[in-house]
Structure 1
């Protein structure tokens, strides 16, 4: 804008411009020709815009410009005929709060409305003319010099002093840059490979990125968002299919796309997003009147128990024994789509679940359930007996001839969408589903090896030219939904919650909404439809997570909780993946979770405290899959549950000081926690020295292994755990300490059996499930070792093949006194 105070310094040219502006003012025209940068200010940021490009991104009050030199920073980029274009000039309309951007190389004009708030600047695309030429509008990309912390999902970049962020203000404005036509955001997925036990080695020293709303660059970073015109059908590559029909979707197109741009002190970034949510009417979920992103309950741990009406009392009792408030059913549904509950556990369907919720609430426990989002089981009414026409289709052809209800070869006009085999390999013709084995090798084209009336439908005659749609399915042997059906399924889930008052959900399989052909937009529409359909009393208070995140969904979900226990041991299954997820949560301003773990009959107290120390260190919750029967089968199961109670109570009450947390995060370190009668705790560091003892001597020979270690703690009785982990029993097990004391520990130790000494008057023998077999007295004085270097010898004889022992030496350090802070 030309400032009148500067005109006196501009000579004749300035006077001419002044006359020109005054003449325009007399004509009541509010157009200002931009000869200098226009300025938009918030409390903490100043944005200068010149010729439709950002000219500076300046922090206030310290006036540091975070815009890198020589890097283009368009307010808006448009894609026309496959190429992106940035503005060549701009008119600034103050009275309308608009900037008119001209793309001279394409003869396109875009009108962007602007508003400067205390917390942020908002931009809205009001028009693009002429219509029909532009298929993508990109906000930015906006470059910054910040590179320390890049929150790729939330769209915020930070260093120690300052944060700059972008927020999509409606669902159709997608976070990121459209690197693919399917709008599936780039992300790491542990299940893309064949080994699910942990992340691929090539990612060991890398961060696991999910999305590109913010992205690293050589000069720092960029933040970006975009909107796509979906008014016409497109053929895209989607989910492994080289041709996939993305149907048209009417949402107003590019017009109405909105973003917020903000800058603030780094420690105010999360608070600023919360303010933007409330000012811009974005989802702002609260748990017990506290914004979910800062509520301690957002990281609440929970038990996963397969309860029903008959088991709910025991499940509630177990949850309360563990000191937890959330109880979760991992798979209560007989069908997905309409979400009928398993009648064996919930004979009165949703009313049965409602009674369980009521009973749990009376005990201070909240219930949740696991879903697979828009996955549709073949036994659901959306499939049988009459398939819903809104089941997602990869594409379609037509019948090349009429067929009767018995034909097992189906003539089709074109084979394009049918040649890639899928799990269900199913087509829909009218109200019949048909499975087929293959497509003929050449024209005339046939679907061969057909099973008529598949999935509970009825075989029928069909006329020539009827539509033959190849249905989209998933490896879980389920069908998927188009956009309209996805929104209906989301509302079905909301109806379940509205009726039963369930308080927690995980949208597993949320990527199933890629079936809409709209990628992350499909996912967003699904979760938003669920959120919006909840009753006001529930909206926001239901803890929710999902199989994958998203930029707009960041405002809806409470947290994410990734990591599964099925693929290796308690401490080993996806451990590095879980740890890297903590860094992801931190840089994306999200509550932290450690994922799912499984307690079985062999889970040790030491394993439990290993997990609980990590939870305390990261202030991260976790899910524990177990049940009352399993706890009883574990001889120390009650102790495990009590440890969960102690640790999680201390964590949720803020007892672990920040200075201790880095140590608690380290997976090689062990700790023990003891509760005091006054409501405080003692946290003991544990030195743990682990070795495996395996030899190939002849049966009957004595095998020895010698180990040296340094005890970092004061003098005390040496503690140990010895387990027979081979296929044959160990005989005459001995432990020699510092070449002075030899203990004859056990005449025989069968596979799985355990010797444990905790520094007291007895050595106890357990079976593999921690049931005590026997105990023997020991003089704790002879077990004492000093601080410093130590040596031990472990020996045994064996019968049979493949003997092995696992040894753990433990010593305990001085405690730290912990008190609650909330």
Structure 2
């Protein structure tokens, strides 16, 4: 009757059958039976059944349904909309449409002045037995209501995580942790005021999939437990950073016999027999659009992998320039009609992705869960979360939930590279971004983490203002400097968000300003965790163009002030960084050498100047009516009895000795 295109059948009948709501549809003989659960915290809607009446004449068969809209509700726009949680709220009221499992697609379609909140059930995922809840409450009670849903439906405890004291903790991340070097890492982490250390699995396993121990862990789990215990004995929690929905090309899941549960992006059929010596694979289907990226051009046929160099897009359809038996797989003969596929090699081509429809994701989750539990980890970073099969809204959170269900104790918090609606309960902090160069880190922080923090805060969630890569000065870079850490940490504090630092022992030792850099992080971390910043100060910090410094004053307390870089120090010498600020009606400058030592000569009377190692720790200056010489190296503070403009002029005329 209808054209071959998507067709929506609107509801035209609604009535009660006992406690169930029954909905009929125009032009179709379906009846949707919806169980309604009304309580003080939420209203639940579950699709119990789709009844269908087939008439006793004609040859009409049941119409196949691609998707079913369980609930749609127009919601007037309020001050805030959290796209991830699917909540519209202001300071008085919050309206939230929430899935109770990964199977419902929750969304909101924007209209003029309102949104259509929508819960869809997809046939390719699951329809019958899927439930969603509608929460309408005071804004201050929203998380209480969500927590009730999490408890009633045995969901991951996203609310409890967001309310935990550990939720505020920044972390120090290690890519090379061993039983031999962990003590050094702990020492540096303590200098930075970190209360959490995150260990990347590359530290202790040589491949992902079967997770064999690296040579640095000759005693396997016992050595990893030693590393974890040392961190905890130092008073910190321990997390882990891993990839969980893909395996290494070098792993036994791929080579020498590729597992049948690896993901295939496209499927093909041999149009001609394929002999062992053939370097051309002729197929029935057009391969147009398959990847030509280096490292990703792999076909899987039986237990063999074939690397192709090119393909044709007119018959005969062929993969050409083929290298047989790639990744040490065995070359075989194949008959006409044999099925093969384009292996789902990751955009980071060291990996091959898994097919979440099969048991391989469960197997991987069990392996990861055992290591996580036995080691005693406390939190987790789900990296590569986007690398799942479609539909992405479903398999993103499904894969994460499979891991979560294998943890004996729920992580105190979790982060991940991408999120879907249901993963709000799992990924309780937004993701960190990849590292930025020192020269662009402030601009990149404005463009990425700051924008994300504002966006995700509407979902009652913080993000991670990291990862910050530690870089020492060199020929091509000034390296990471105290003002850069000051900027990133202060912007995080504006939104009450943590940071993360990648710890590299040799770079720490090489960089002469490491002590200053870690002290900056320590101050902001301590002040943020202790709730030092007022709402007014947080609003000031949200101004991304105004930089701030966090001082420790003469009484040992924190003091936050705006400051500005002096750009033309010593005729624009790039080895000195100086920032000017006003304090107690005095003009002050914090300054340092980016990597070395020396002295800075300023054409000013010593009577107008006071020098401090830290505020309250004065350094005496020789009396001189014409000029002073101040030490140049670590961060120090100099205070003037002259105007800001005069001080800037002094620093432009300074001489480095």
Band of TM-score, shorter chain: 0.7 to 0.9
Matched residue of 2:66: which SS?
strand
Structure 2 residue 593 is matched with structure 1 residue 669: no
CA contact (8 A) 1:412 1:446 kept: yes
* Gap regions ≥5 residues in structure 2: 53-61, 473-478, 574-578, 609-616, 622-628
CA contact (8 A) 2:280 2:322 kept: yes
Match of 2:346 in 1: 474
CA contact (8 A) 1:563 1:574 kept: no
Match of 1:218 in 2: 112
Q: 1:567-597: per-residue Cα shift (whole Å, max 9, x none)?
A: 4534333432111111122101113432311
The counterpart of 2:32, out of the listed 110, 114, 120, is 110
Q: 1:391-449: per-residue Cα shift (whole Å, max 9, x none)?
A: 11122222233333232122323333775434421111111111011124543333211
> Could you say if the C-alpha distance between residues 285 and 440 of structure 1 is closer, same or farther in structure 2, counting changes exceeding 3 Å?
closer
Deviation at 1:786, TM superposition (A): 4.6
The counterpart of 2:140, out of the listed 267, 275, 279, is 267
> Could you say if the C-alpha distance between residues 561 and 441 of structure 1 is closer, same or farther in structure 2, counting changes exceeding 3 Å?
closer
> Could you say if the C-alpha distance between residues 796 and 159 of structure 1 is closer, same or farther in structure 2, counting changes exceeding 3 Å?
closer
Alignment RMSD (CA, Å): 3.5
The counterpart of 2:428, out of the listed 543, 548, 558, is 558
Matched residue of 1:533: which SS?
coil
The counterpart of 2:418, out of the listed 548, 557, 562, is 548
C-alpha distance in structure 1 between counterparts of 2:653 and 2:519, whole Å: 35
Matched residue of 1:463: which SS?
coil
CA contact (8 A) 1:147 1:216 kept: no
Match of 1:792 in 2: 649
The counterpart of 1:413, out of the listed 281, 284, 296, is 284
Q: How does 1:712-727 map to 2 (within 5 A)?
A: 712-716=582-586, 718-719=588-589, 721=591
> Could you say if the C-alpha distance between residues 741 and 140 of structure 1 is closer, same or farther in structure 2, counting changes exceeding 3 Å?
same
C-alpha distance in structure 2 between counterparts of 1:635 and 1:710, whole Å: 22
Structure 2 residue 10 is matched with structure 1 residue 86: yes
Structure 2 residue 303 is matched with structure 1 residue 303: no
CA contact (8 A) 2:586 2:641 kept: yes
The counterpart of 1:588, out of the listed 459, 462, 466, is 459
CA contact (8 A) 1:354 1:500 kept: yes
Match of 1:207 in 2: none
Structure 2 residue 105 is matched with structure 1 residue 174: yes
CA contact (8 A) 2:96 2:136 kept: yes
Deviation at 1:795, TM superposition (A): 5.4
Deviation at 1:376, TM superposition (A): 1.9
Matched residue of 2:150: which SS?
helix
> Could you say if the C-alpha distance between residues 786 and 556 of structure 1 is closer, same or farther in structure 2, counting changes exceeding 3 Å?
same
Structure 2 residue 287 is matched with structure 1 residue 363: no
Matched residue of 2:77: which SS?
coil
The counterpart of 2:401, out of the listed 519, 523, 528, is 528
> Could you say if the C-alpha distance between residues 398 and 371 of structure 1 is closer, same or farther in structure 2, counting changes exceeding 3 Å?
same
Matched residue of 2:23: which SS?
strand
C-alpha distance in structure 1 between counterparts of 2:592 and 2:227, whole Å: 43
> Could you say if the C-alpha distance between residues 565 and 736 of structure 1 is closer, same or farther in structure 2, counting changes exceeding 3 Å?
farther
Match of 2:509 in 1: 632
Match of 2:564 in 1: 688
C-alpha distance in structure 2 between counterparts of 1:98 and 1:120, whole Å: 16
Deviation at 1:742, TM superposition (A): 13
Structure 2 residue 442 is matched with structure 1 residue 571: yes
Matched residue of 1:511: which SS?
coil
Match of 2:245 in 1: 374
TM-score (norm 1): 0.68
The counterpart of 1:597, out of the listed 468, 486, 492, is 468
Q: How does 1:89-488 map to 2 (within 5 A)?
A: 89-93=13-17, 95=18, 97-130=19-52, 132-176=63-107, 214-230=108-124, 253-285=126-158, 291-305=160-174, 306-330=176-200, 331-332=202-203, 333-341=205-213, 343-416=214-287, 419-423=290-294, 424-440=296-312, 442-477=314-349, 478-483=351-356, 484=358, 485-488=360-363
CA contact (8 A) 1:502 1:542 kept: no
Structure 2 residue 496 is matched with structure 1 residue 619: yes
> Could you say if the C-alpha distance between residues 411 and 104 of structure 1 is closer, same or farther in structure 2, counting changes exceeding 3 Å?
closer
> Could you say if the C-alpha distance between residues 787 and 572 of structure 1 is closer, same or farther in structure 2, counting changes exceeding 3 Å?
closer
Match of 1:233 in 2: none
> Could you say if the C-alpha distance between residues 339 and 718 of structure 1 is closer, same or farther in structure 2, counting changes exceeding 3 Å?
same
The counterpart of 2:528, out of the listed 639, 642, 651, is 651
> Could you say if the C-alpha distance between residues 151 and 720 of structure 1 is closer, same or farther in structure 2, counting changes exceeding 3 Å?
closer
Deviation at 1:375, TM superposition (A): 2.4
Deviation at 1:263, TM superposition (A): 0.4
> Could you say if the C-alpha distance between residues 472 and 694 of structure 1 is closer, same or farther in structure 2, counting changes exceeding 3 Å?
farther
C-alpha distance in structure 2 between counterparts of 1:417 and 1:354, whole Å: 50
Structure 2 residue 366 is matched with structure 1 residue 491: yes
C-alpha distance in structure 2 between counterparts of 1:495 and 1:418, whole Å: 40
C-alpha distance in structure 2 between counterparts of 1:322 and 1:791, whole Å: 31
CA contact (8 A) 1:718 1:784 kept: no
Matched residue of 1:433: which SS?
strand
> Could you say if the C-alpha distance between residues 132 and 663 of structure 1 is closer, same or farther in structure 2, counting changes exceeding 3 Å?
same
C-alpha distance in structure 2 between counterparts of 1:658 and 1:336, whole Å: 45
C-alpha distance in structure 1 between counterparts of 2:77 and 2:587, whole Å: 53
> Could you say if the C-alpha distance between residues 369 and 686 of structure 1 is closer, same or farther in structure 2, counting changes exceeding 3 Å?
same
Deviation at 1:363, TM superposition (A): 2.5
TM-score (norm 2): 0.84
> Could you say if the C-alpha distance between residues 222 and 440 of structure 1 is closer, same or farther in structure 2, counting changes exceeding 3 Å?
closer
> Could you say if the C-alpha distance between residues 383 and 635 of structure 1 is closer, same or farther in structure 2, counting changes exceeding 3 Å?
same
Matched residue of 2:198: which SS?
strand
Deviation at 1:172, TM superposition (A): 0.8
Q: How does 1:721-736 map to 2 (within 5 A)?
A: 721=591
CA contact (8 A) 1:544 1:557 kept: yes
C-alpha distance in structure 1 between counterparts of 2:426 and 2:379, whole Å: 13
* Gap regions ≥5 residues in structure 1: 1-79, 177-213, 231-250, 697-702, 704-708, 726-730, 744-757, 799-804, 806-822
CA contact (8 A) 1:472 1:480 kept: yes
CA contact (8 A) 2:158 2:424 kept: no
CA contact (8 A) 2:603 2:654 kept: no
CA contact (8 A) 1:143 1:222 kept: yes
> Could you say if the C-alpha distance between residues 692 and 323 of structure 1 is closer, same or farther in structure 2, counting changes exceeding 3 Å?
same
Does 154-163 or 267-276 show the bigger shift? 267-276
The counterpart of 2:386, out of the listed 502, 505, 511, is 511
Q: How does 1:55-70 map to 2 (within 5 A)?
A: none
Matched residue of 1:649: which SS?
helix
C-alpha distance in structure 2 between counterparts of 1:652 and 1:645, whole Å: 11
C-alpha distance in structure 1 between counterparts of 2:444 and 2:493, whole Å: 19
Deviation at 1:300, TM superposition (A): 1.0
Q: How does 1:7-46 map to 2 (within 5 A)?
A: none
> Could you say if the C-alpha distance between residues 715 and 139 of structure 1 is closer, same or farther in structure 2, counting changes exceeding 3 Å?
same
Alignment length (residue pairs)? 609
